[in-house]
Amino acid sequence: MTTLEEIRQSVENGHYKITEQVITQALKQHIPAIKILDEAMVPAMREMGERYKNNEADIPRILSSARCMRKGLDILTPGLESERGLYVGTIILGTVEGDLHDVGKNLVAIMFRSAGFKVIDLGVDISEKQFLKAVRQNPEVSIVCLSTLLTTACPSMQHAVKALRQSDTEHRLKIMVGGGAVTKEFAEHIGADAYTESAVDAAEMAKTFIV
């Protein structure tokens, strides 16, 4: 089994100590952090998502895999950050009110950081008021990213986007949305500037917003 396959399997099995060990080993073998993320960790989490959907994995199992992702990302972050270029800009990021999912959001944070952005990560269950406050307190922010995996939290996303637009009288903000519950059509409908399916594409797209 290759090192990447071992990482993938450890995330699927939910063994975070093994994930940490094998990732450390992979970095010693000079496997790029981005490759470890894209080719082992993200596919493993996707696979667990599929299994959960088909009732082949229960919640404790999913949480173990999510913990592997978190622990693994902690080790990968310095590598991803050193693969980046110069400072590009600042973004605010959060999962919208009513939604506690954070694996995808954390990946978005990592991808933006590795693309050279400073990321102000507000966390999960973030209300429109909290987004607005963060924008007010951080005048250097040019992009706000909202995430949701729950269709029941889509109205919160819509309200937050509307409130951000209304408060942005100088038109300095770009709003990006994503997460499993979001589609391109929904993003257009609520007036977001961009939607991408993956975190890697999100950071690439964001760069095009920065002149």
**What residues line the site for ligand B12 (CB under 6 A)?**
42, 45, 48-49, 52-53, 59, 62-63, 66, 98-105, 107-108, 145-147, 149-152, 176-181, 196, 198-199, 202
Nearest CA-CA partner of 41 in 202, 199, 207: 199
- Shortest Å distance, C-beta 87 to ligand B12: 20
| Pair 144, 175: CB distance under 8 Å | yes
Instruction: Spell out the residues 6+ positions from residue 150 whose beta carbon is closer than 8 angstroms to its own.
Output: 98, 99, 101, 181
31 or 37: CB nearest ligand B12: 37
CB of 168 vs ligand B12, minimal distance in Å: 17
State in angstroms the smallest separation of the CB of 28 from ligand B12. 25
- Measured from the CB atom, is 30 or 162 closer to ligand B12? 162
145 closest CA partner among 155, 135, 137: 135
Q: Is the separation of the CB atoms in 96 and 112 below 8 Å?
A: no
The nearer residue to ligand B12, 32 or 43, going by C-beta atoms, is: 43
For ligand B12, give the closer residue by CB, 26 or 157. Answer: 157
CA distance 52 to 178: 20
